[in-house]
Amino acid sequence: MADFLVIKRERLSWATRNGIIERDRDGSYRPEIVTGQWLKYERGSHAKKAGRSEFERQRVRLTRAKAETAERRLALLDGSLMNSADMIESAKAVCLRIKSKLQAALPRIARRCYHAPSVNEALKSARAEFDILIAELSALENGAAPTEFEVVRDEDGENP
């Protein structure tokens, strides 16, 4: 029977002892029954291996996902990666700084133009104020922006 199934005799004895293959009452093997039993066992073991293989793939995927999550957290901590909420807050802060600088510059420009003795002096004064404004905005770009802001008026035109 082992030759018929193309397995070793020890393997056939093992399969008989473990109840995978059954003998007749007289102790002989019936090929039509034994072949089906052996094929059922082989298919089951292959399915089990495929299940283990799928389990291993899922385990590797989970491990990889955990490692990537840990790397992202470390990148967030060391500042090399920003999440979208941090980027939005950073953009809002920069916009608020620019708005504050512009609101502070407009009254100065208006004052200088109003008190200038001539149109040429008003133009020079306005250009000087714009140069100061550009310098302040350039300082924002370099990260040397002050954390306190001068707000002249809010959107309703009132002093806060």
* 146 part of a folded domain: no
The reply to whether 12 and 59 lie within a common domain is yes
Percent over 70 (pLDDT), the chain: 83
Domain of residue 69: give its range. Answer: 2-75
The reply to whether 64 and 88 lie within a common domain is no
The reply to whether 61 and 121 lie within a common domain is no
- Burial track 108-144 (b if 16+ CB lie within 10 A, e otherwise): bbeebeeeeeeeeebeebbeebeeebeebeeebeeee
The reply to whether 70 and 88 lie within a common domain is no
DSSP 41-74: HHHHHHHHHHHHHHHHHHHHHHHHHHHHHHHHHH
**69-128: pLDDT as tens digits:** 888 888 777 767 666 777 788 888 888 888 888 888 888 888 888 888 999 998 888 888
The reply to whether 55 and 102 lie within a common domain is no
The reply to whether 55 and 27 lie within a common domain is yes
Structure-token pair, residue 158: 């009132």
> Which of the residue ranges 5-9, 13-17, 74-78, 132-136 would you say has the lowest mean pLDDT?
74-78
What pLDDT, on a 0 to 100 scale, did the predictor assign at position 91?
Answer: 83
Percent over 90 (pLDDT), the chain: 4
* 157 part of a folded domain: no
The reply to whether 27 and 92 lie within a common domain is no
The reply to whether 28 and 58 lie within a common domain is yes
* 156 part of a folded domain: no
Position 21: which residue type? I
Give the domain-ending residue among 49, 75, 101. Answer: 75
DSSP 113-129: HHH-SSHHHHHHHHHHH
Tally of domains within the chain:
2
The reply to whether 71 and 88 lie within a common domain is no
The reply to whether 63 and 91 lie within a common domain is no
**Closest among 11, 88, 72 to 42, alpha carbons compared:** 11
* 34 part of a folded domain: yes
